[in-house]
Amino acid sequence: MTDKIIAIQADPISQLKPKSDSSLFIASEFCKAGYKVFFYTPSDLTVTHDDVFAAKGNFVTVDFDNYKSEYFLLSQDVVDLKYVHIVMIRQDPPFNINYVTNCYMLQRLKKYGTIIVNDPTGILAHSEKMSVYQFPDFIPPSLITANFNELVTAFIKKQGEVIIKPLYWFGGQFIEKIIDIHSGRKQIENALNNYGHVIIQKFLPDVYGGDKRVVLIDGKVAAVMKRIPAQGSFIANLVAGGKAARTELTLREKYIAGVVGEYLKKHGILFAGLDMISEYLIEINVTSPTGLVAINKLYGINLAKKIVSMLIKRTKK
């Protein structure tokens, strides 16, 4: 196979939102660069004992105009991923056993020289809500647990208001605020019963004015935007009703982003999103970072083009 092919592993293309989806935006730039774009879902990948990486999906063309993507399905096909130039892992969490298994499958593809972004080994090693623990000086007081024990009780009594969230979901889903240990007991028990391990973190009131999403490309800060929660909410994610606004990084935030970006690049995480509140690092998004369309609207910056340029250069090394 001599064609230049980019394979994008994502949720079903029919479920992607043309007005906001970063994967479609990236795909449109690959089309402009002369690549054939192939979309498939993780469940449509089969790997054989003799390393056939058979992905069943669709070749597509994607246009991006006036802040909206439009895609056209071409042929349905089965492609051996050994023969594509680049594979992008872009499906949304939850980061469950299916996600983990898919990363294990794609790890075997690396020996054939295919560029995989983000590196499946890096994704496996950097759970989005736990990986911030690599940087204890940058994060707010927090703990991870699967038990409602005396440490949880003592932590909440000391910190006051906290938030509790499952470790492996995304988009601000199932995050709750605990006012105090007495009124929040049932919330904590329900979260542990429903999700197993959770993270409990000091509540940062500044989130009402917005958090910051920092986009890292090739280890460097490419752009930053503020995400402002809807009235009465503390969930800033755009998919949860937050609104994007212009902002800048403080000196401390620039330092945090620089340290984390350099670390992620060493681990094959070339496209990431950092979430910050009150100069604290809250989360490192490595599975399917978003926000490219919103940033394009805010600043006129085409980060999709920057990502594509970065990846094409890597194919020539």
Q: What is the pLDDT of residues 2-20, one digit of tens each?
A: 589 999 999 999 999 999 9
- Give CATH superfamily name and number for 206-286: ATP-grasp fold, B domain (3.30.470.20)
Residue 10 and residue 39 in contact, taking contact as beta carbons nearer than 8 Å: yes
Q: What sign has the CA pseudo-torsion 257, 129, 212, 309?
A: positive
The pLDDT value given to residue 183:
86
DSSP track, 139-191: S-SEEEESS--HHHHHHHHHH-SEEEEETT--TTTT-EEE--TTTTHHHHHHH
Distance CA 122, CA 268 (A): 6
Distance CA 170, CA 165 (A): 10
The pLDDT value given to residue 2:
58
Query: Mean per-residue pLDDT for 100-127?
Result: 96
Place of tokens 């950097």: 126
Residue 86 and residue 316 in contact, taking contact as beta carbons nearer than 8 Å: no
Give the confidence band of 317 by pLDDT, cuts at 50, 70, 90: low
The pLDDT value given to residue 221:
99
Query: Mean per-residue pLDDT for 174-192?
Result: 90
CA atoms within 13 A of residue 4's CA, in its CB half-sphere = 10
What does the chain come to in residues? 317
Domains of the chain, by residue range, sit at 5-118, 141-203, 206-286
The yes-or-no verdict on residue 215 having pLDDT over 90 is yes
Helix (H) or strand (E) segment spanning residue 104: helix 97-107
| 3-class secondary-structure state, position 21 | coil
**141-203: what CATH class?**
alpha beta
Structure tokens at 204: 């940062």
pLDDT in tens, 125-160: 999 899 999 999 999 999 999 999 999 999 999 999
Average pLDDT of the chain is 95
Looking at residue 206, the DSSP 8-state letter turns out to be G
Residue 31 has φ and ψ, to the nearest 5°, of: -60, -45
Structure tokens at 199: 């993270």
Closest CA to 171 of 235, 99, 96: 235
Give the confidence band of 82 by pLDDT, cuts at 50, 70, 90: very high
CATH topology of domain 5-118: Rossmann fold (3.40.50)
Structure pTM? 0.94
